[in-house]
Chains A and B, each alone.
Chain A
């Protein structure tokens, strides 16, 4: 995309207008990632700022390819570090947590309010929330996730399964309510 190339080139020259433009282009999407990952609005804003400062400081290291993917990686890294810094993420095995049986009644009519889905995702425990977001929403595969979160691939897989189960439960609850 031409304009974006131009903006990146200008950003490499520390052009404040180009920086602002890039920020405006990506801040909303990136904020939503932060907010979902961190499940905390204030933290999400802080991390968003940190991430963009890093983006502009390191922009010389961007060597082409998808800029959106590059910027997203920085944002996700910052989010993961933040979560790990503040709490010990528990990567308990899924088997330790018996899951309630849920009926499949709602699967045919999944037109759930997206805000509700977002809320339900944010209610997931840190570990499986991260895995779920990365896998389902950010197109990471399990090997990417294992690298990013420093967990094994099988943990990633079991955390994803758990996230989906938990999500279905909370979704059906909120729909019933």
Chain B
């Protein structure tokens, strides 16, 4: 008797032999839809004081089958670093399919007006959703409100589905907004009496804002320039006095605030997209602060720029691809449970003799602020060194700007060095800056001497203080974006100390298809203008974007280290009109992702998409793949992108390469400087240990200098 019972018990899994009627689900769905009206929607459309934000639901690309004609190259590469397989996607204009997770069908492709806000009141006593009565009473209060404030987040990467606003009441309100509302996202609101409302605005133009106001109210306003940095009090168009408390510490040197990338759950965000970044400006700036005996401001530390300051030993590209791709999977030095994956690109090296003709316009800031200290002198020295490298076929013009912009050197042949030098020597500082006018003139000059096959580039040298004329950052960027189409690239060189408008300069370079470097001494001028000239000035691929798709079987969550201001929306990857970074000849680009392996305890902790949940019928045939990385780039003179992809297998290297060791040391150091919440067990000593291991030959002494800087930072900070 016991046997029978035990036998059934042991085999009950195998006794599930029947299958339910397939129609059951549609019946359940229909019944659930009827019940749905229980949700607590607050409709606002009638309120006269409201302006409705138009938002767009996340539009997922149309998934089309990939053609089978994709070419596999680099298989069994002789380089120990190169990716195992590299695939050229023959029809890059087609949106490619997700590899590991079944794509979700877009549930709504129409542009939708957001007309409702869900208010969820979270009380300390009960965790359930609030009752309707509570909402009603809140609604009554809101109806009487006289003042309205809204903070609008303009970050293009904002894909949260809810915004939590905390303030000094014992409850908090959460606004659920539409996913992927692009650049118009509700952020906050005012509260009664003297309650302070505060929060951090993702991607806002400066630091952290706090807001206080009178009255009860809530409104959504359109994304206008409510975040102008230079005013303390702004009036919203709804008549409310909004006090923006400006962080005085940020005055002077102005850094765009960086909100560190968080871990993303692979199942809700399987894909991570960003643009490459070749700037090394942050490194130099950090070094200046540390050499001066102070720790750099957190927001001056852009980890990807620190990492990319160094050259890495990477293979030359093969076949038709303008860059090589190298990946490496290894342990995470600051968190034993995690892994890191390094992805590196190296642009094809072009010998200088083969370089196309240069059509260069030096756009030089000679405003009053440039006269202080070393700025203009350093600038002149740097350009003299660059001039020495020029050839007969190259053309140089010089445009200066201050009170007014002017052409001080007509286009001149590269071998007429005395003439160029003389013009440089004559430069004097004085007047205030009309940067906008100068940029206009520089583009005009560059265009007049445009060389079809050549390298047409404006090199803007400034301390970035655009304070006359087109002083609005957005306006300036608009101009540069427009000029970009002409095929002229813009490099920005930041000079001097104490007056750096770092954010402005980086944005200018980014929007002008260029790069930004910060120059604080002659050696740096040489590094940027001479040693790297071949790279910086010769673009071999433009609009280079990376999109990684993580395999949920292997990775449960991931975090991109750095690149905070280079994140792209998922759909931007396939959108050729979306600008991205440039890769120069011989340049190396490295990105690190911190990975939480699937099965790691306590790893799920982030927000997820509201409207789309991946169907987790992932394919186990890929169980040995960590991720697939896709690259899009355009040849410098083309408008249509090419697509290639590589797969990272789950085979960690037995001993990490020097490249990996160096990059992880710099990342660790950067996280310490930023006081990252993910710094884990990072320490200066450990970063030093790694750097010493990775020093290698160090021909130019950059790594030794880095080691000295980390030692110094360790002393200044007084930490291990």
Contacts and interface: CB of A to CB of B under 8 A. Distances in A.
Query: Does chain A bind chain B?
Result: yes
Contact of B613 (A17, A56, A110): A17
Nearest to A17: B613
Interface string B67-111: 000000000000000000000000000000000000010010000
B235 to A, nearest CB: 37
B15 A117 contact: yes
A168 to B, nearest CB: 6
A158 interface: no
Contacts of B267: 2-3, 6
A31 B613 contact: no
Nearest to B161: A13
B342 to A, nearest CB: 26
Nearest to B176: A13
A107 interface: yes
A14 B41 CA distance: 13
Interface stretch (B26-34, B57-65, B416-424): B26-34
B121 to A, nearest CB: 15
B615 interface: yes
Interface stretch (A22-30, A77-85, A86-94, A141-149): A22-30
B615 A2 contact: no
A151 interface: no
B485 interface: no
Main secondary structure of the interface of A (DSSP, over half): helix
B610 interface: yes
A101 B378 CA distance: 107
B20 A27 contact: yes
B28 A23 contact: yes
A18 B613 contact: yes
Interface in A1-41: 2-3, 5-7, 9-10, 13-21, 23-24, 27-32, 35, 41
Given A20-B25, A110-B4, A167-B4, A137 B9 contact: yes
B611 A31 contact: no
A154 B134 CA distance: 49
B46 interface: no
A10 B608 contact: yes
B36 A14 contact: yes
Contacts of A13: 610
Interface residues of A, number: 49
B3 A110 contact: yes
A10 B267 CA distance: 12
Interface string B112-140: 00000000000000001100000000000
B4 A107 contact: yes
A60 B38 CA distance: 13
Given A2-B556, A45-B24, A56-B32, A136 B9 contact: yes
Main secondary structure of the interface of B (DSSP, over half): loop
B21 to A, nearest CB: 4
Nearest to A2: B604
B129 A60 contact: yes
A136 B28 contact: no
Interface string A148-166: 0000000000000000110
A53 B32 contact: yes
A53 B24 contact: no
Nearest to B610: A13
Assign chain B's interface to a size class: 35 or more
A136 B25 contact: no
A7 B17 CA distance: 26
B401 to A, nearest CB: 54
A115 B17 contact: yes
B104 A17 contact: yes
B8 A107 contact: no
B553 to A, nearest CB: 11
B354 interface: no
Nearest to B5: A136
A27 B29 CA distance: 14
B614 to A, nearest CB: 8
A94 to B, nearest CB: 14
A117 B16 contact: no
A19 B8 CA distance: 31
Given A14-B39, A21-B615, A60-B128, A107 B24 contact: no
A49 B4 contact: no
A133 to B, nearest CB: 10
Contact of A6 (B28, B129, B613): B613
Nearest to B3: A107
B265 interface: yes
A27 B24 contact: yes
A88 to B, nearest CB: 27
A164 B1 contact: yes
Given A32-B17, A137-B8, 20 more contacts: A2-B556, A3-B267, A6-B268, A6-B608, A10-B608, A10-B613, A15-B610, A15-B613, A17-B107, A19-B29, A23-B25, A29-B16, A30-B20, A32-B16, A41-B18, A48-B20, A112-B7, A114-B14, A137-B12, A168-B1
Interface of A: 2-3, 5-7, 9-10, 13-21, 23-24, 27-32, 35, 41, 44-45, 48-49, 52-53, 56-57, 60, 107, 110, 112, 114-115, 117-118, 136-137, 164-165, 167-168, 171
21 contacts: A2-B556, A2-B603, A3-B267, A3-B616, A6-B613, A10-B608, A16-B29, A17-B104, A18-B613, A19-B28, A19-B29, A19-B32, A35-B18, A44-B18, A44-B20, A48-B20, A52-B24, A60-B128, A60-B129, A112-B7, A164-B1
Identify the 7 closest CB pairs spanning chains A and B, nearest first.
Answer: A31-B20, A32-B16, A45-B21, A17-B613, A18-B613, A2-B604, A110-B7
